[in-house]
């Protein structure tokens, strides 16, 4: 079982909250057990009693009782070479502080009911030369493909989280829709509110703005649309495009008057996080682009749509 441990806080963990440190290092330790250990002074910081909200500092000493049983989560497992290759193949940009993935459609960002494989569970393979795995700083829907940003250290996790919160990271999506928006460009200004499992446009909902422009169209039948969310509501682009009568192909939740299934193209959600502008983070022009999935490109060819 092991005895009492003294752990020195590393520079990259400077400022982290105690409960967050335990969530990462001892994922099977419940919050109630952590609180009990703190209350009974079995966990101390620099020899003093601490709280879950205590912020740790570089060089501080953390006293821990035997916690071997909580070290590994029941769901943790050593990644296979195949899984490691799988997630490493998604990397489209990497430097000292940031990794950008081109996430495939159908792969969830985090675990949930009936979700065995997800990005969060594969991040160990993206440590490379670092001592800790990268951190998720935002999410995209399971069925949406494209840009997913990861922070390689706590400093940039905070920087990127702040940038997403303040909307200084501009994201561009591509969507293949049924019908054609009219006018061909504009801003959808319809407030959204969650009703059941869907986001719906309601007068007193949360402010939601989406800029869009039609890149190409097949008359009024189909169109390739560029969309830029100016706010960050759940399912915003999907709900907004449905609300103007042009739902995204392959959408099982926001499909307008009827769900269209075409035998000639892959039946997936045709929404792709195409590009992210990291200029505000780097202080110089920096765009990262995620190539379209093969099925998306093939559908554009089938419909005769050009980028």
Q: Which residues are catalytic?
A: 141
**Which residues are 89's β-sheet partners?**
none
CA distances from 118 to 17, 109, 187 (A): 26, 5, 33
Report d(CA 57, CA 256) in Å as an integer.
52
E-state strands within the chain: 5-8, 44-45, 48-49, 61-64, 91-94, 98-103, 135-136, 145-151, 170-178, 185-189, 192-195, 198-201, 209-218, 222-229, 271-277, 287-289
Contact 240, 261 (CB under 8 A): no
Give the dihedral of Cα atoms 122, 125, 130, 131; nearest 10 deg. 70
Q: Of 250, 245, 247, nearest to 237 (Cα)?
A: 247
Q: Which of 135, 137, 142, 219 is nearest to 177 (CA)?
A: 219
Cβ atoms of 108 and 115 closer than 8 Å: yes
Judging by DSSP bridges, how do beta strands 271-277 and 145-151 pair with one another? parallel
Lateral strand order in the sheet of 48-49: 5-8, 61-64, 44-45, 48-49
Tokens of 204: 């007193």
Beta bridge partners of 277: 170, 287
How far apart are the C-alpha atoms of 228 and 140, rounded to whole Å? 14
């Amino acid at each position: 079982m092991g005895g009492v441990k003294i752990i020195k806080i590393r520079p990259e963990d400077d400022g982290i909250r105690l409960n967050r440190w335990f969530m990462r290092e001892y994922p099977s330790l419940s919050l109630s057990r952590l609180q009990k250990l703190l209350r009974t002074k079995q966990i101390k910081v620099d020899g003093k009693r601490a709280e879950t909200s205590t912020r740790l500092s570089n060089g501080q000493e953390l006293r821990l009782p035997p916690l071997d049983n909580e070290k590994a989560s029941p769901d943790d497992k050593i990644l296979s070479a195949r899984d490691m290759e799988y997630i490493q193949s998604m990397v489209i940009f990497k430097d000292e502080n940031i990794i950008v993935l081109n996430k495939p459609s159908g792969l969830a960002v985090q675990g949930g009911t009936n979700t065995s494989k997800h990005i969060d569970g594969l991040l160990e393979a993206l440590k490379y030369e670092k001592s800790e795995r990268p951190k998720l700083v935002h999410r995209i829907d399971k069925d949406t493909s494209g840009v997913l940003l990861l922070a390689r250290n706590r400093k940039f996790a905070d920087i990127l989280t702040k940038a997403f919160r303040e909307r200084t990271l501009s994201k561009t999506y591509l969507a293949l829709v049924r019908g054609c928006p009219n006018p061909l460009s504009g801003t959808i200004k319809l407030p959204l509110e969650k009703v059941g499992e869907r986001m719906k446009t309601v007068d007193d909902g949360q402010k939601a703005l989406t800029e869009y422009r039609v890149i190409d169209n097949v008359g009024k039948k189909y169109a390739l649309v560029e969309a830029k969310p100016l706010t960050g509501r759940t399912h915003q682009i999907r709900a907004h495009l449905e609300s103007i009568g042009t739902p995204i192909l392959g959408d099982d939740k926001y499909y307008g008057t009827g769900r269209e299934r075409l035998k000639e193209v892959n039946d997936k959600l045709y929404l792709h996080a195409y590009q992210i502008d990291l200029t505000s983070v780097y202080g110089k022009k920096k765009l990262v682009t995620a190539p379209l999935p093969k099925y998306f490109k093939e559908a554009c060819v089938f419909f005769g749509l050009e980028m």
